[in-house]
Amino acid sequence: MKKWQILNNKSKIKSKKFNTDSLINILLANRGIKTKKQREDFLNPDMSLVTPKNVGIDIPSLKKSIKRIRKAIDKKEKIIVFGDYDVDGITGTAIVWETLNKLSADIMPYIPIRVEEGYGLSKIGINNVLEKFPDTKVIITVDNGIVANQAVEFANEKGIDVIITDHHQPAKSLPDAYATVHTTLVCGAAVAYILSQEISNKNSNLELVALATVADLVPLKGYNRILLSVGLEKLRNTTRPGLLELFSEASIKKDEIDVYEIGHVIAPRINATGRIGDAMDSLRLICTKDSKKAKLLAENLGLTNRERQKITLETVVHAKSLITDKSKKLLFISHEDYQQGIIGLVAGRLTEEFYRPSIVLSIGKDYSKASARSIPGFNIIEFIRESNDFLVDAGGHPMAAGFTIETKNLLLLQKKLEQLAEEQLAGKNLTKTLRVDCYLDFENLNHELFAEIQKLKPFGMGNPEPTFISENIEIEDMRLVGMDQKHLKVQLSSQTRSDLHLASDQGRTLKIGGIMFAYDPSLKLKIGDTVDIVYTISNNTWNGNNRLEVKIKDIRKSKLVKAKQK
């Protein structure tokens, strides 16, 4: 059973006092939006606010990087855009490459191969670049580089100027780069976009920033919300052959693309090649202007993603079989057969199911690679860096990180991290918390309310879809659905029952359908039960008819009924 955390516990909105605007004010307040100006900015995203200064980029360093890039363009020096193999890195690489290519720069993109070169700028990566492009004079990193101290030093020795653009958490000492364009307030592709804007002053490629903003799970507040709101419209109107073919392969409609489609359909396909293949294929898909080539690349990404799904599922099952003590505060799982490209996904699945910080490692002969995922309130990268004496490198965010370790030190690291986790999480109730905006009488659900809630979109990290509690709802009908009969389809009624002495209006009735995914049969619900539900509101369109439904996040038998039965 999840813990229900009511964000606005004092606002138990009843039917007689219900006002849509007052509910919207509660929802905004729950998201930190309290003043009239904050509300105006939130509801009316303004791209003019997304400036280097506002997002926290150091202006002198930004100007220095632009001056060096322009010098390289004028002198026809070879520039390499050194990206990362995830959506953020791939789209950011595309943005910088396309921008400078249009300015006639001698520029080429480079995405490292995960298994051979590891994450980010590295000595081996630089050597591989020099083998292909021996006259390289400038490397611009995208979505990496802020912790690449040794690699930058190596590049300096080779006579290469490194310009870092990144958004990851920096270490105590920064690399000795020619210039650093850095902030943690937006995603890596957004940093690349801002740099490109300052160079070319053209408001383009925002559709790629939208993809990265969702895929990299940055909070959808402030500047991220602005970039995504504007970028989504660009994405729905994109003419990029690669994206159009990818939408077709995934069977999604371009004009209906939203956060869900990006996070669960588009991003996994773009990420798949970097996990179990060559991420350059995803970059080619985004940048190509050839529709035939785009179709072939999109089909390849779809096939690769299906293979990635299969490997991930098998690895998750195996990893769960290795968990012998579920009371431990940290899940630390390692195996020599785990593929580096999917260990982050596995760690995420373990954290989701067991609500523990999780570290999953792919054991190598000499070096092992790890990926970590965390729970709210536990900064995983700071936690990992407490064991820097064991690590070759480490980087990431408070909620997701990765590191490399010599395999001979693996058991020592595991022992230290498990001990640290027991100390730092002692007394913490590691139960998944379901955050709920407020109570709401079921009778207040209508299309007008749904339309007003939609004005708060896009929903996602930092701006979750509004979630409500309604109490004492009767189950009029129910059945299990889906291929595995694991989902619960219900017909609900708010008809009040005088024997329960409810505070809401007597005699009012609302009947509405609902769905609960991954229903727990141990709840033993039956037709006629009176329940409390946590849910979001959705609109089901079928044959031209619009019908409100609720998506149930959690359900329990009503306390009033239990009390009466006792």
Domain 3-43+433-565 has CATH 2.40.50.460: yes
Q: For 497-541, how does the pLDDT look when each residue is reduced to its tens digit (9 = 90+)?
A: 444 333 344 445 678 999 999 999 999 999 999 999 999 999 987
Q: What backbone torsions phi and psi does residue 140 show, to the nearest 5 degrees?
A: -110, 115
Contacts of 23-32 with C-beta under 8 Å, sequence gap 24+, read: 23/438, 23/440, 23/449, 23/452, 24/452, 24/453, 24/455, 24/456, 26/437, 26/438, 27/437, 27/438, 27/453, 27/456, 27/466, 28/456, 30/437, 30/438, 31/221, 31/456, 31/462, 31/463, 32/221
166: which strand partners?
A: 182
Which fold does the domain 322-424 belong to in CATH? Diaminopimelate Epimerase; Chain A, domain 1 (3.10.310)
Residue 202 predicted with pLDDT over 70? yes
Whether 231 contacts 213, CB under 8 Å: yes
Q: How far apart are CA 97 and CA 292, in angstroms?
A: 22
Structural domain boundaries in the chain: 3-43+433-565, 50-202, 322-424
Q: Average pLDDT in the 179-203 region?
A: 95
> What pLDDT was estimated at residue 305?
98
Query: How does pLDDT run across 437-479, given as a tens digit for each residue?
Result: 999 988 889 999 999 999 999 999 999 999 999 999 999 999 9
Q: Tell which residue, 163, 180, 172, 171, has the closest CA to residue 394.
A: 171
Measured between alpha carbons, how far is 269 from 251 in angstroms, rounded to an integer?
A: 13
Rounded to the nearest 10 degrees, the angle between the axes of helix 87-102 and helix 267-276 is: 100
DSSP 3-71: EEEETTTT-EE-GGG--HHHHHHHHHHHTT--SHHHHHHHHS--GGG--TTTTT--HHHHHHHHHHHHH
Q: What is the pLDDT of the chain when averaged over all its residues? A: 92
The pLDDT score that the predictor gives to residue 544 is: 75
* 285-308: average pLDDT: 98
pLDDT at res. 401: 95
**Average pLDDT over every residue of 415-423:** 97
With a cut of 80, say whether residue 128 has pLDDT above it.
yes
Cβ atoms of residues 143 and 167 within 8 Å: yes
- 322 has pLDDT over 70: yes
Residues of the chain with pLDDT > 90: what percent?
A: 84
Task: Give me the pLDDT at residue 443, please.
Answer: 86
Instruction: Determine the residue type at 186.
Output: V
In this predicted structure, what is the pLDDT of residue 66?
98
Between residues 506 and 129, the one the model is more confident about: 129
pLDDT for 509 equals 65
Of 121-135, 140-154, 191-205, 400-414, the poorest mean pLDDT is in 191-205
pLDDT in tens, 307-316: 999 999 999 9
50-202 to CATH, choices 3.90.1640.30, 1.10.3720.10, 3.40.50.720, 3.30.1360.10: 3.90.1640.30
Would you state the pLDDT for residue 282? 98
Tell me: pLDDT of 554 over 60. Answer: yes
Q: Say which residue, 546 or 436, is predicted with more confidence.
A: 436
pLDDT of residue 502: 38
